[in-house]
Amino acid sequence: ILGCSDSRVPPEVIFDQGLGDLYVVRVAGNVLDQMIVASIEYAVLHLNVALIMVMGHSQCGAVAATCTHEQLEGHLPSLTFALNHALNSAKGKKGDLVENVTKDNAINVAQELCQTGAHFPELVENNKLTIVPAYYHLGTGKVDLL
Protein backbone atom coordinates (compact mmCIF):
# COMPACT_ATOMS: atom_id res chain seq x y z
CA ILE A 1 0.00 0.00 0.00
CA LEU A 2 1.26 3.44 -0.92
CA GLY A 3 -0.43 5.71 1.58
CA CYS A 4 -0.13 9.02 3.33
CA SER A 5 2.09 9.52 6.36
CA ASP A 6 -0.83 11.09 8.27
CA SER A 7 -1.03 9.33 11.64
CA ARG A 8 -4.81 8.96 11.29
CA VAL A 9 -4.56 6.57 8.33
CA PRO A 10 -2.33 3.58 9.15
CA PRO A 11 -3.19 0.84 6.64
CA GLU A 12 -2.57 -1.90 9.22
CA VAL A 13 -5.40 -0.47 11.34
CA ILE A 14 -7.69 0.42 8.43
CA PHE A 15 -7.54 -3.14 7.06
CA ASP A 16 -7.26 -4.86 10.47
CA GLN A 17 -3.90 -6.43 9.67
CA GLY A 18 -1.06 -7.40 11.96
CA LEU A 19 2.55 -6.32 11.79
CA GLY A 20 4.22 -7.93 8.80
CA ASP A 21 0.95 -8.63 6.98
CA LEU A 22 1.19 -5.62 4.65
CA TYR A 23 4.07 -3.97 2.83
CA VAL A 24 3.42 -0.27 3.40
CA VAL A 25 5.14 2.80 1.99
CA ARG A 26 3.95 6.08 3.50
CA VAL A 27 4.67 9.63 2.38
CA ALA A 28 2.70 12.84 2.83
CA GLY A 29 0.15 13.13 0.03
CA ASN A 30 1.03 9.63 -1.26
CA VAL A 31 3.18 11.20 -3.98
CA LEU A 32 5.91 9.50 -6.00
CA ASP A 33 9.63 10.09 -6.15
CA GLN A 34 12.54 7.78 -6.96
CA MET A 35 12.84 6.41 -3.43
CA ILE A 36 9.12 5.64 -3.22
CA VAL A 37 9.18 3.87 -6.59
CA ALA A 38 12.30 1.94 -5.54
CA SER A 39 10.58 0.81 -2.33
CA ILE A 40 7.57 -0.42 -4.30
CA GLU A 41 9.80 -2.10 -6.89
CA TYR A 42 11.48 -4.01 -4.06
CA ALA A 43 8.11 -5.29 -2.86
CA VAL A 44 7.05 -6.38 -6.34
CA LEU A 45 10.34 -7.78 -7.62
CA HIS A 46 11.71 -9.37 -4.44
CA LEU A 47 8.70 -10.06 -2.21
CA ASN A 48 6.34 -11.09 -5.04
CA VAL A 49 3.71 -8.50 -4.18
CA ALA A 50 0.99 -8.73 -6.85
CA LEU A 51 -1.38 -5.98 -5.68
CA ILE A 52 -0.54 -2.34 -5.04
CA MET A 53 -3.10 0.06 -3.62
CA VAL A 54 -2.49 3.80 -3.86
CA MET A 55 -4.68 5.16 -1.07
CA GLY A 56 -5.53 8.81 -0.55
CA HIS A 57 -7.71 9.96 2.32
CA SER A 58 -10.17 12.65 3.34
CA GLN A 59 -8.86 15.76 5.09
CA CYS A 60 -5.33 15.30 3.73
CA GLY A 61 -3.17 18.20 4.93
CA ALA A 62 -0.74 17.98 2.00
CA VAL A 63 -3.60 18.21 -0.48
CA ALA A 64 -5.30 21.02 1.46
CA ALA A 65 -2.04 23.02 1.44
CA THR A 66 -1.82 22.52 -2.32
CA CYS A 67 -5.42 23.62 -2.87
CA THR A 68 -5.04 26.80 -0.80
CA HIS A 69 -1.60 27.61 -2.24
CA GLU A 70 -0.30 27.81 1.32
CA GLN A 71 3.26 29.17 1.55
CA LEU A 72 5.45 26.35 2.81
CA GLU A 73 9.07 26.35 3.91
CA GLY A 74 12.02 24.04 3.43
CA HIS A 75 11.37 20.99 1.26
CA LEU A 76 7.59 21.08 1.73
CA PRO A 77 6.95 22.86 -1.60
CA SER A 78 8.11 19.67 -3.36
CA LEU A 79 5.00 17.94 -2.00
CA THR A 80 2.64 20.57 -3.32
CA PHE A 81 4.51 20.61 -6.65
CA ALA A 82 3.95 16.85 -6.94
CA LEU A 83 0.22 17.38 -6.33
CA ASN A 84 -0.24 20.18 -8.89
CA HIS A 85 -1.18 17.80 -11.73
CA ALA A 86 -4.08 16.47 -9.65
CA LEU A 87 -5.04 20.02 -8.65
CA ASN A 88 -5.21 21.07 -12.29
CA SER A 89 -7.28 18.04 -13.30
CA ALA A 90 -9.72 18.54 -10.39
CA LYS A 91 -10.43 22.22 -11.02
CA GLY A 92 -13.94 22.72 -12.33
CA LYS A 93 -15.25 19.40 -11.03
CA LYS A 94 -18.33 19.44 -8.83
CA GLY A 95 -17.88 18.69 -5.16
CA ASP A 96 -15.16 19.34 -2.62
CA LEU A 97 -11.86 20.44 -4.18
CA VAL A 98 -9.63 18.72 -1.59
CA GLU A 99 -11.52 15.43 -2.00
CA ASN A 100 -11.40 15.67 -5.80
CA VAL A 101 -7.66 16.44 -5.81
CA THR A 102 -6.99 13.57 -3.41
CA LYS A 103 -8.90 11.12 -5.60
CA ASP A 104 -7.34 12.41 -8.83
CA ASN A 105 -3.90 12.14 -7.25
CA ALA A 106 -4.48 8.50 -6.26
CA ILE A 107 -5.62 7.73 -9.81
CA ASN A 108 -2.67 9.61 -11.36
CA VAL A 109 -0.11 7.93 -9.09
CA ALA A 110 -1.57 4.47 -9.79
CA GLN A 111 -1.37 5.14 -13.55
CA GLU A 112 2.18 6.49 -13.24
CA LEU A 113 3.28 3.43 -11.27
CA CYS A 114 1.91 1.18 -14.02
CA GLN A 115 4.33 2.85 -16.43
CA THR A 116 7.27 3.76 -14.16
CA GLY A 117 8.28 0.76 -12.09
CA ALA A 118 10.88 -1.68 -13.38
CA HIS A 119 8.99 -4.37 -15.31
CA PHE A 120 5.65 -2.96 -14.09
CA PRO A 121 4.18 -2.37 -17.59
CA GLU A 122 4.66 -6.00 -18.64
CA LEU A 123 3.61 -7.35 -15.24
CA VAL A 124 0.39 -5.33 -15.42
CA GLU A 125 -0.20 -6.35 -19.04
CA ASN A 126 0.29 -10.03 -18.15
CA ASN A 127 -2.05 -9.75 -15.13
CA LYS A 128 0.76 -10.50 -12.69
CA LEU A 129 0.48 -7.09 -11.05
CA THR A 130 -2.59 -5.01 -10.28
CA ILE A 131 -2.37 -1.37 -9.23
CA VAL A 132 -5.54 0.22 -7.88
CA PRO A 133 -6.32 3.73 -6.62
CA ALA A 134 -8.43 4.07 -3.48
CA TYR A 135 -9.88 6.71 -1.15
CA TYR A 136 -10.24 6.32 2.62
CA HIS A 137 -13.01 8.22 4.44
CA LEU A 138 -11.77 9.25 7.89
CA GLY A 139 -15.30 9.77 9.19
CA THR A 140 -16.72 6.38 8.23
CA GLY A 141 -13.66 4.15 7.95
CA LYS A 142 -14.81 3.15 4.46
CA VAL A 143 -12.35 2.60 1.60
CA ASP A 144 -13.61 3.22 -1.94
CA LEU A 145 -11.82 1.80 -4.95
CA LEU A 146 -11.63 4.49 -7.60
Catalytic (active site) residue 144: no
Residue 89: name the closest of 113, 70, 72, 111 by CA. 111
- Percent of the chain, pLDDT > 70? 100
In which band, very low, low, confident or very high, does the pLDDT at 13 lie, cut at 50, 70 and 90? very high
80 and 98 Cβ atoms separated by less than 8 Å = no
Residue 27 scores a pLDDT above 90: yes
Task: Count structural domains, the chain.
Answer: 1
Catalytic (active site) residue 26: no
Among 8, 119, 137, 144, the active-site one is 8
Catalytic (active site) residue 85: no
The domain that holds 41 is classified in CATH as 3.40.1050.10
Catalytic (active site) residue 69: no
Domain enclosing residue 122, as ranges: 2-145
Convert the pLDDT of each residue in 38-68 to its tens digit.
999 999 999 999 999 999 999 999 999 999 9
Catalytic (active site) residue 8: yes
Among 21, 46, 60, 67, the active-site one is 60
